[in-house]
Amino acid sequence: MSLQLSDSLYPVDEVISSFVQCILAKHTFNECLFWLWELFFTTPNICEGIKIIYQQFYSHTNQNVATYVAHKILAYRETGVKRHIADIVNNLLTMSSSPYAYYIVKASQSMDGPSILYKKAYLMQQYHASPNISSLLCAIKSRDIKNIGAYASLCLATVGFDETKHAIILYANTSGNTNVDTGLCDGGIITISYLISRIINRIDSHKAKFTRARLSDVSKMESHFTRRSDNLLSKRRLYPTHSFAQPASYSRFTTGDVSFEDACRLSWTYYCFNSVEWNKRFEKYGGYLDIDKRKIIWSTDEEQEAFYSNGYCIDFDEQPTDITYMSLHPIEVIDDPYEWYETIVTLRLANLSL
């Protein structure tokens, strides 16, 4: 992933990581809202992101949680009212999380492949399954996360999503697990891991009760993001991105012959151009992206001057050190998903004890 800066000039991938970790570790609702609003103003894919968080870490919850998440996402898409998404976050903060679907996805990305060759042909006959499907079902029956991920990846590559999903749901139904498919099934390994996790996890039989995010909290955060016209990051930024991050490839390490720090300090306009709100601002004043020169080109000098004189001259390199450090600080990428989740659990316990 190439570097992209968010509305407040954080690396977008680290904003996403901080947001996920805030929810799982049960940080304050205000911090969760800050990262959520940062994403509202940065990416058009917030609904997909929320759905993935639910599928990867809350697959064990009652059917009514999936219905609630789908309802709230639809309401947001129809009205644009951000409080609907804040409601989802507010309720996920009160729920326990489970890493099984996430572990399956990570196992599917391993280059090692399956470590066990299953030979139980009766599964092939019973479910009219291909060898890879049969092996996936055997791995599910054994609750073998590594081989579930490996065979899920093979199934998607060989027989496709629809046949893999059909076999998983058929297996679940004949095993007495009839509430696996919640309707949140878009495709790909995320959905497959979600369905399998609902088989190997114990599904919560109690329906969740939902509460709304406080309107005062939502209004305060919306005001913070919409009334900003000054060029001080100290007025924009409320929190630093987290000092550790989940397993992934992070864009701060992909800036090539330019250091991450110099990219942010000297070329921030180039790297924030594709952020939703920044893109609107550049377009309004006739700014467009020159990829070869890594800079913004302006239609006229007058439009460039108007852009900077209307509050958009951030001058990243002239901001206070403690403010720029909120995104320039080093991060530890925890490459092992199990170690990362254990770190989250430890942090969550610490937060709950406060």
pLDDT band at 317 (very low <50, low <70, confident <90, very high): confident
Q: Does residue 119 or residue 54 have the better pLDDT?
A: 54
Q: Give 66-108 pLDDT, tens digit per residue.
A: 999 999 999 999 999 999 999 999 999 999 999 999 999 999 9
Q: Does residue 177 or residue 20 have the better pLDDT?
A: 20
**Helices assigned H by DSSP within the chain:** 12-25, 29-40, 46-57, 63-79, 83-92, 100-108, 121-126, 131-142, 145-158, 161-174, 188-200, 215-226, 233-236, 260-266, 268-271, 276-284, 301-307, 321-328, 337-352
Q: 205 with 62: CB under 8 angstroms?
A: yes
CA-CA distance, 88 to 142, in Å (whole number)? 33
Q: Would the pLDDT of 158 be above 80?
A: yes
HSE-up of 218 (CA within 13 Å, CB side)? 15
- Average pLDDT score over residue span 179-205: 86
Q: Would the pLDDT of 201 be above 70?
A: yes
Looking at the DSSP bridge assignments, the partners of residue 332 are 244
HSE-up of 277 (CA within 13 Å, CB side)? 16
Q: 277 with 9: CB under 8 angstroms?
A: no
Q: Give 22-71 pLDDT, tens digit per residue.
A: 999 999 999 999 999 999 999 999 999 999 999 999 988 888 999 999 99
- Count of C-beta atoms within a 10 Å radius of residue 12: 22
DSSP state letter for 285: T
Among all chains, which residue has been given the structure tokens 């390490």? 253
Q: Give 229-286 pLDDT, tens digit per residue.
A: 566 788 899 999 999 999 999 999 999 889 999 999 999 999 999 999 999 999 999 9
Q: Does residue 6 or residue 185 have the better pLDDT?
A: 6
Q: Would the pLDDT of 183 be above 90?
A: no
What pLDDT, on the 0 to 100 scale, is given for residue 146?
A: 96
What pLDDT, on the 0 to 100 scale, is given for residue 66?
A: 92
Q: What is the pTM of this model?
A: 0.93
DSSP state letter for 187: S
CA-CA distance, 158 to 46, in Å (whole number)? 31
What does the domain layout of the chain look like in residue ranges?
12-96+208-352, 100-200
What pLDDT, on the 0 to 100 scale, is given for residue 126?
A: 65
What pLDDT, on the 0 to 100 scale, is given for residue 263?
A: 94
What pLDDT, on the 0 to 100 scale, is given for residue 104?
A: 98
**Neighbouring residues of 117: CB distance < 8 A, sequence distance ≥ 6:** 135
What pLDDT, on the 0 to 100 scale, is given for residue 121?
A: 52
**Helices assigned H by DSSP within 295-352:** 301-307, 321-328, 337-352
Which of the given ranges, 64-78, 190-204, 302-316, has the highest pLDDT on average?
A: 64-78
Q: Is 154 exposed, middle or buried (0-12, 13-18, 19+ CB in 10 A)?
A: buried
